[in-house]
Structure 1
């Protein structure tokens, strides 16, 4: 009976040969984080970010060759601004299918920039599955490595990808899996599907171009010179 159920499920899903693109809308939530929640300088800002995250809607727009991930326009308030800051969703992420070269459009004190960077992530495909919005998804894990003046920190990443939509795109520029990522947890941040729209016609994607184009190395040098948000 279980095999029959999955067979019927795949028959009922849109055929990928018909899917030319689409949009996925995500909600985001900020889970408890000991580092942020107990830091006397950050805990109040993190509480505001947790409330602001409940208001955010994020979009992954994609076609057969490329994708764009961004936050939907909202009437912003202080909570939303902090939510975008902690989840890094005030940026725009552009990814090409089967490519490690990516673009990130961001804004800092010196102005707007489009960062041309390369990222090759190692994923471990796990033997776990679940249904997300009617799509059969499989679990994959990786690590987020953060380097700063204090040291090197590693945080778990959990992605649920959908092989029936075999495009290697996902939230925040994550890629490299044999299916679209419908759910992603990065450290304390969880992106979950709110709605999936697939289309049988091509979806036009525009590369981010609002800002000076720089490499990751050039941008990192600018960050070192920038004042911190709390100064």
Structure 2
């Protein structure tokens, strides 16, 4: 109880301090998604050479290890992947498609006062501007604390339905049929990549926020806590703040972008899922030729 009261007092004091000035902050986040389960599948695949495994691992590392910049004020923020000079031109069609929805993509703007967000995304050569209401998670406040970057952070957890169009949420599909007693694994089982993965019905989110920076902001679409979220962990992806600058000398204009076809999140997800299904059917017709995403499971 003492910790909770102290947290509230600290948040109020800090908030009053921020009111005295035109507050703005910048936070750098490192995002990393574990691919160990996919690596295990590849290592058990006799049809995949060590060189092929190495190439795929390098491509997945580029897809799932990214740096983002969050610029925020008291009510709004913009979250965007850090621009890199090096562009990936070696990935096949399947990897390019997955990279476009493996986290990030355009500028994610959210206004916690209006509870609205927008995100400009490019998918399969088309530009979209996703505009919708922010999802409010039922955060469970914990008393556990830890220090991140010199800031005292408190733990909060929530259960979330993962997005089917965010590749980071996908897990290798369990082959229950092959595990049944007496069942024999297929001698040469071809599986389209999109058929070999699945999205769980729900995931547990663990967040660490600091009342010392009393803004209800965080990376990506995370928000709703009495302090800036410095770390988010969904069991597979970790987004960790590595640097914070309060009231930087060079201010950034925090506003929503306006380019792209305006769609709701549901409309965008449906468009992506439709394209994924078309890609899956096209890939099956290719029979594993170059540019497809055919992989083989089984010995």
Please give the range of the TM-score, normalised by the shorter of the 2 chains.
0.7 to 0.9
Give the equivalent residue in structure 2 for 1:109. 124
Is contact 2:137–2:160 with CA below 8 Å preserved after alignment?
no
Q: CA deviation at 1:51?
A: 2.8
Runs of 4+ in 1 over 6 A off after TM superposition: 79-83
Q: Of 186, 191, 208, which residue of structure 2 is paired with 1:160?
A: 208
Give the equivalent residue in structure 1 for 2:192. none
The reply to whether residue 130 of structure 1 matches residue 146 of structure 2 is yes
Give the equivalent residue in structure 1 for 2:69. 59
The reply to whether residue 170 of structure 1 matches residue 218 of structure 2 is yes
Question: CA–CA distance in 1 between the matches of 2:98 and 2:208?
Answer: 23
Structure 1 residues 53 and 129: alpha-carbon distance in aligned structure 2, compared to 1, 3 A threshold:
farther
| Structure 2: 5+ residue stretches without partners | 46-51, 165-194, 284-299
- Range that drifts further, 148-157 or 158-167: 148-157
> Which protein is richer in helix relative to its size?
2
How many residues are matched? 220
Structure 1 residues 221 and 200: alpha-carbon distance in aligned structure 2, compared to 1, 3 A threshold:
closer
Structure 1 residues 205 and 147: alpha-carbon distance in aligned structure 2, compared to 1, 3 A threshold:
closer
Q: CA deviation at 1:31?
A: 2.5
| Structure 1: 5+ residue stretches without partners | none
Is contact 2:97–2:124 with CA below 8 Å preserved after alignment?
no
> Which protein is richer in strand relative to its size?
1
Q: CA deviation at 1:54?
A: 7.9
Give the equivalent residue in structure 2 for 1:144. 160
- Range that drifts further, 89-98 or 65-74: 89-98
Tell which structure's C-alpha radius of gyration is larger: 2
Structure 1 residues 216 and 184: alpha-carbon distance in aligned structure 2, compared to 1, 3 A threshold:
same
Cα shift readout 1:46-86 (whole Å, capped 9, x = no counterpart):
73355326863210111122101110111222689799557
Give the equivalent residue in structure 2 for 1:98. 113
**TM-score, L = length of structure 1:** 0.78
Superposed CA RMSD: 3.6
**TM-score, L = length of structure 2:** 0.62
Cα shift readout 1:120-171 (whole Å, capped 9, x = no counterpart):
2111111111111111111111123137696752222111111111111111
Q: CA deviation at 1:203?
A: 4.3
Partner-residue secondary structure (3-state), 2:256: coil
Give the equivalent residue in structure 1 for 2:29. 26
